[in-house]
Structure 1
Amino acid sequence: MRDPETSRFAAGRLSPARRKTDLDRLRSETFDVLVIGGGVTGAGAAVDAAARGLSVALVEARDLAAGTSSRSTKLIHGGLRYLEQAEFPLVHEALAERELLAGRLAPHLVRPVPILLPLPAKAWPVRAGLRAYYGAGVALYDAFAGLVGQGRVVPKHRHLSRAATRRLFPSLRPDATGGAIRFYDGQVDDARLVVTLARTAASLGAAVVTSTRVTDLRDDGEQITGARVRELESGEEIDVRARVVVAATGVWSDDLTKMLPRARPGLRVRASKGVHLMVSRSAISGEVGLLLRTPSSVLFALPWGGHWLIGTTDTDWELDRAHPAASAHDIGYLLNQLNQVLDRPLTEADIEGVYAGLRPLLAGEDEATSALSREHAVVAPMPGLLLVAGGKLTTYRVMAADVVDIAAQQLGVARRSSTARLPLLGADGYAAMWWDRAALAARFGVPVGVVEHLLERYGTLTPEVLAIAAADKELAAPLTGAPEYLAAEIVYAARTEAVVHLEDALTRRTRISIETPHRGEATARHAAQLLGAELGWSEAQVEREIAHYLTRVAAERESQRMPDDQTADAARLGAPDLRGPDQPVGEG
């Protein structure tokens, strides 16, 4: 096995020491490309630019994937419903990216998930017509995926009878389906994908610094020459010099445009709120996911480990963008839509977690957010500045390549994007390690199930986590209140994954905040003590981190009892942000 100290594994460690080094680089270097925004598009752009040999810095106001990119439906998909809107190129592009991610770039993070598209229980002629209509759409979906040319990774669809449908999903009411079509898409832990992208960029030489908010853009009167940033942990102001600035700031795109020295055209982005629920796997009996049509959009119920992930809503949002809030109305809507097809209706008592995110949609003047295109755009409102927005999680790599193509052209660099052939950290050798997982478990003296859990989160980086657990048996034990996670994973996050605050570890490096009924409250002290030992926190700081996290959870619970967006937003804002009171310009 490769020596991690001599591989790019080591170069990709976003440790506390690496953070200090990267901050020094922000102070002293002139970068070819400065990326603003630590979401999937920004992290993808950093990988693309660094892979072309450009010097790259990435700054993020809060944490990696703190906004949109940790709050999705967690699907890598082509967008089956976009076929009805005749957006064939968009669907084909997304399916090609799905096959790349699941097959080559990130097979440890993206894996096929079976989903049922139930057919209404109507009279036979109507049902047959609907089966033919939906079947043609799914067949076209599969055909587009098959055009990629690298071999199919995600299985093809299959038609199912009513009896076969209920065998796969016993919780479907008998009168709610006349059969179904089973198809496959890709499932991903979106936050882990972003962290892996950021570490991959770091392994290629990029400086990656979170808790670093852009306060202004630098210019020489003719073009943008960098940005002024505030390091939020110390308050230090730093002028970062760059030949090209790439803003991948999602729903904050308009904020960047307002920083320009003169009014310039930019991207008009609207925020659409999507709310998701987590319920226990035992609350619904089913082996596959569901895709349901709703009056305004679609609804998924997807298996997610020991849980079901249910979502999403699609409504306009004009309130606080850093902490979008789910209201009681949102939660009631999701439960009502799903309960129409379940034999045992879900109640609020079944809910373990709730999260809300904002999609950055390229805006028209009057469209409902559910009708806006998921296509992306790149604009140059001023020389030296590129804005990229729109798109979706699945097509992050295409968005990144498009914006870096223009940046490279401005820099006079001829090298083209190579990211379609660049496995992310943890991907190279993953299949062999998975097949050898029993031997890996025996080597470290842990159950095979533990190794499987780690492999699906870290890929071939798994031995690094196991080595931490082997060095201290207390770290080989599960976290308090979160038996699915090892204590070693929190330590690993502190040492290698750019964790700055307790919230980073419980909401994004792990998903404890949405996967446990206590929302991480029972785990906070254990995790904070582990982080404190790694990050040099004082006892007072440990207590401060715990208090902040508990306040945040309480504010989120309160917001979810509020009847509408306005009252939910007000309740959520009752918890202050540890990274400062100013509105961040963050990720997309």
Structure 2
Amino acid sequence: MTAITAGTRQHALTSMSDGRGLDILVVGGGVTGAGIALDAATRGLRVGVVDAQDWGAGTSSRSSKLVHGGLRYLQMLDFKLVTEALGERGRLIDRLAPHLVRAVPFLYPLDHWYERPYVGAGIALYDALATIGTRNRAVPRHRHVSAKKLHKIFPDIKEGVCRGAIRYYDGQVDDARLVIDLIRTATSFGALAASRTEVAEFCRDDTGRVVGARVTDLESGTEHRISAQVVISATGVWTEETQDRAGTHQGLRVLASKGIHIVVPGARINGESGIILQTEKSVLFIIPWSRYWVIGTTDTGYHGDLTHPVATAADIDYVLEHANAILARPLGREDVIGTWAGLRPLLQPETKGDGAASTKVSREHTVTEVLPGLVSIAGGKLTTYRVMAEDAVDFALGPERAKQLPSGTDETPLVGAAGYHVYARQAPLIRQSYGWSEATVAHLLHRYGSALPELLAQVDARPDLGQPVTGAEAYLRIEIVYGVTHEGALHLEDIMTLRTRLTYEVADQGLSALEEIADLVAGELGWDDQRRAIEIAAYRARCAAEAAAAAAPTDEAAELVRGRAGDVLADLPDAVVSTLS
């Protein structure tokens, strides 16, 4: 059973607090925490995972949506790190999540003729490192591209800006769905998972050891006491805040760096490949994605609200300026149909206080014992989430027990992976049976893989679910329902922002489809008219606030505007009800 629902969430909270205790309690349901929950569950441990928001609602759903080795690390001669990341890329594409992760081509433009030999040699090494430890070559090899050929591949590249390019491949991932599938896979192996559940405090015994946590169910306001032999904090940019709740000044130090992306319609850029550019502040990607292009990112220090970062006018202008440096048809603000902002948890070299009890450091992430019984992990990146998870569980278990219970996640396919290629071959039959277009079936296979029969069974039982959502025709009605019945959505915004991407992939943020989607969600979750109205008003307020923030000149001004919309759980029930009465 891989479905997560409001019911399984309640069962998980009850089971976690039934007094039997967990082997491991994971705090944080982003890609790292979800990966830890899966790693621990597949070792036969009793594990629970909680998050104060929806699964993957923070950094893990706001990435560049790439699975890559990191070309910049080759410049630093960090071959081990690049090899590790490329190995994980290969595993994800080859067997762990082939439905979610796929190869995507990129052009590396060459400004001068003398760049070709050493850039080519570097990318050749990148390709070579990708073959180490993999069963199959997950992506095609690089190719040198002349200036003439470059314009055939990417007609919208500005004339005279480069002397050709090198075309190479990396991986592209639906990051939010990766987290949801990790959680679902973990629960299929016995993990207990509860979103919208906040740690109020860590519990300690007479010796000072952390022995669990007191958590608040943000849906009902009830409190639960969860006992655990070890608690692992995987809270990203909230790492220091989480450690502070344990009453200690020790632990990891993490600074937030904001990266934003803009979305423009697919027809607005004529090209068959992504582009990677070096800027003075960051790496800029122009990435083909489904029916649109994603362009980003920035890299700026951030000290504002960690829960609701937004793109400012300055952020958007920066991305447009650097993209337009290479595009023949310049983009304007009117072309931007959506944005998102994410916060990278940048691990600082020193720990808080006088140092932690013990620490394991890699180039990208660190695992440390903040207090006896409380382990923190921070740093890293989405590509290497599985390695981070394995390191965290190994650390929590200790060398001897970790050796007895080794990780097996390198051979554990996620929900939708096993048999994906078989269903992909059956795409013509599925199209014929349900009257869907080739694009629709490809969309469904990319999102659900071999779990597609679960959706088809619901459509068979209720044919109206096989129809497109009015105003968001790229999605079928069944996808909205499935987000509730199998993917744990509890709120309208969970569907709009994470189970679909409507919040940024259509110009109106999905508002034209909101009423129909709300009806579908309300029917599954049993909402009355008042609750339905609150949820709709909450999402509308969020959209209005983010649009206003995109016109603000600074992070401070944008944060003020975004803050007025509040949060669907913390602020809106009182504020919105008053406006509806």
TM-score > 0.5 by shorter chain: yes
**Which residue among 81, 91, 100 is the counterpart of 1:90?**
81
Q: For residues 489-514 of structure 1, what are the alpha-carbon distances to aligned partners after superposition, in whole Å with 9 as ceiling and x for unaligned?
A: 01001001110111111100110111
Report the equivalent of 1:203.
Answer: 188
- Separation of aligned partners in 1, 2:439 and 2:163: 37
- Separation of aligned partners in 2, 1:392 and 1:23: 29
Q: CA deviation at 1:445?
A: 4.3
The answer (yes or no) to whether the contact 1:160–1:180 under 8 Å persists in 2 is: yes
- Separation of aligned partners in 1, 2:42 and 2:398: 15
Whichever residue aligns with residue 482 of structure 1, its letter is A
The answer (yes or no) to whether the contact 2:251–2:376 under 8 Å persists in 1 is: yes
Report the equivalent of 1:242.
Answer: 228
- Separation of aligned partners in 2, 1:325 and 1:430: 36
- Separation of aligned partners in 2, 1:412 and 1:88: 30
Q: CA deviation at 1:374?
A: 6.7
**Which residue among 351, 366, 370 is the counterpart of 1:377?**
366
Q: Are 1:168 and 2:124 counterparts?
A: no
Distance 1:149 1:461, change over 3 A: closer
- Separation of aligned partners in 2, 1:438 and 1:172: 36
Report the equivalent of 1:403.
Answer: 392
- Aligned to 2:566, the other structure's residue is in SS state coil
The aligned runs of 1:249-398 (5 Å cut-off) are 249-263=235-249, 265-364=250-349, 375-398=364-387
**Which residue among 419, 425, 437 is the counterpart of 1:435?**
425
- Separation of aligned partners in 2, 1:443 and 1:32: 47
Q: For residues 431-472 of structure 1, what are the alpha-carbon distances to aligned partners after superposition, in whole Å with 9 as ceiling and x for unaligned?
A: 111112112333444334322211100000011112222322
- Separation of aligned partners in 1, 2:182 and 2:400: 23
Q: CA deviation at 1:16?
A: 2.2
- Separation of aligned partners in 2, 1:143 and 1:41: 27
Q: For residues 237-270 of structure 1, what are the alpha-carbon distances to aligned partners after superposition, in whole Å with 9 as ceiling and x for unaligned?
A: 111111110110000000121122443x211001
User: What runs of 5+ residues in structure 2 fail to find an aligned partner?
Assistant: 351-361, 573-581
- Aligned to 2:84, the other structure's residue is in SS state helix
**Which residue among 29, 33, 41 is the counterpart of 1:42?**
33
Q: CA deviation at 1:480?
A: 2.2
Q: CA deviation at 1:411?
A: 9.2
- Separation of aligned partners in 2, 1:170 and 1:537: 50
- Separation of aligned partners in 1, 2:206 and 2:370: 14
Report the equivalent of 2:48.
Answer: 57
- Separation of aligned partners in 2, 1:139 and 1:249: 36
User: What runs of 5+ residues in structure 1 fail to find an aligned partner?
Assistant: 1-10, 121-126, 366-372, 583-588
Report the equivalent of 1:81.
Answer: 72
- Separation of aligned partners in 2, 1:578 and 1:563: 26
**Which residue among 529, 536, 540 is the counterpart of 2:526?**
536
Whichever residue aligns with residue 377 of structure 1, its letter is T
Whichever residue aligns with residue 134 of structure 2, its letter is G
Aligned residues: CA RMSD:
1.5
The answer (yes or no) to whether the contact 2:90–2:134 under 8 Å persists in 1 is: no
Q: For residues 292-329 of structure 1, what are the alpha-carbon distances to aligned partners after superposition, in whole Å with 9 as ceiling and x for unaligned?
A: 11112210000011100000000000100000121100
Q: CA deviation at 1:148?
A: 2.2
Q: For residues 175-233 of structure 1, what are the alpha-carbon distances to aligned partners after superposition, in whole Å with 9 as ceiling and x for unaligned?
A: 11210000000001100000000000010001110010111101103311111111001
- Separation of aligned partners in 1, 2:149 and 2:427: 33
**Which residue among 101, 107, 119 is the counterpart of 1:134?**
119
The answer (yes or no) to whether the contact 2:113–2:163 under 8 Å persists in 1 is: no
Q: For residues 147-195 of structure 1, what are the alpha-carbon distances to aligned partners after superposition, in whole Å with 9 as ceiling and x for unaligned?
A: 1231211111100000111100000011112100000000011000000
The answer (yes or no) to whether the contact 2:26–2:33 under 8 Å persists in 1 is: yes
Greater Cα offset, 215-224 or 468-477: 468-477
The answer (yes or no) to whether the contact 1:362–1:374 under 8 Å persists in 2 is: no
Report the equivalent of 1:421.
Answer: 411
**Which residue among 6, 9, 16 is the counterpart of 1:19?**
9
The answer (yes or no) to whether the contact 1:72–1:357 under 8 Å persists in 2 is: yes
The answer (yes or no) to whether the contact 2:467–2:476 under 8 Å persists in 1 is: yes
Report the equivalent of 1:6.
Answer: none
Q: Are 1:151 and 2:141 counterparts?
A: no
Report the equivalent of 2:359.
Answer: none
Q: TM-score under structure 1 normalisation?
A: 0.93
Greater Cα offset, 403-412 or 210-219: 403-412
The answer (yes or no) to whether the contact 1:360–1:390 under 8 Å persists in 2 is: yes
Report the equivalent of 1:452.
Answer: 442
Q: Are 1:573 and 2:558 counterparts?
A: no
The answer (yes or no) to whether the contact 2:104–2:171 under 8 Å persists in 1 is: yes
Q: CA deviation at 1:423?
A: 0.5
Q: CA deviation at 1:581?
A: 5.1
Whichever residue aligns with residue 48 of structure 2, its letter is A
The answer (yes or no) to whether the contact 1:215–1:228 under 8 Å persists in 2 is: yes
- Separation of aligned partners in 2, 1:374 and 1:480: 48
Q: For residues 45-86 of structure 1, what are the alpha-carbon distances to aligned partners after superposition, in whole Å with 9 as ceiling and x for unaligned?
A: 000000000011010101001000000000000011121122
- Aligned to 2:548, the other structure's residue is in SS state helix
- Separation of aligned partners in 2, 1:98 and 1:514: 26
Whichever residue aligns with residue 23 of structure 1, its letter is L
Q: CA deviation at 1:20?
A: 2.0
- Separation of aligned partners in 1, 2:313 and 2:497: 21
- Aligned to 1:174, the other structure's residue is in SS state coil
- Aligned to 2:106, the other structure's residue is in SS state strand
- Aligned to 1:300, the other structure's residue is in SS state strand
Whichever residue aligns with residue 450 of structure 2, its letter is T
**In the comparison of the two structures, how many residue pairs are matched?**
558
Q: For residues 367-414 of structure 1, what are the alpha-carbon distances to aligned partners after superposition, in whole Å with 9 as ceiling and x for unaligned?
A: xxxxxx970010001111110110000000000000001122289462
Report the equivalent of 1:585.
Answer: none
- Aligned to 2:311, the other structure's residue is in SS state coil
- Separation of aligned partners in 2, 1:174 and 1:196: 43
- Separation of aligned partners in 1, 2:138 and 2:127: 11
Whichever residue aligns with residue 133 of structure 1, its letter is Y
The answer (yes or no) to whether the contact 1:374–1:390 under 8 Å persists in 2 is: no
Specify which structure has the bigger relative contact order, considering alpha-carbon pairs within 8 angstroms and separated by 6 or more residues: 1
Q: TM-score under structure 2 normalisation?
A: 0.94
- Separation of aligned partners in 1, 2:399 and 2:532: 47
- Aligned to 2:456, the other structure's residue is in SS state helix
**Which residue among 459, 466, 478 is the counterpart of 2:468?**
478
**Which residue among 497, 504, 514 is the counterpart of 1:507?**
497
Aligned residues with identical type, % of pairs:
47
- Aligned to 1:274, the other structure's residue is in SS state strand
- Separation of aligned partners in 2, 1:221 and 1:557: 51
Whichever residue aligns with residue 299 of structure 1, its letter is L
Q: Are 1:519 and 2:501 counterparts?
A: no
Greater Cα offset, 324-333 or 460-469: 460-469
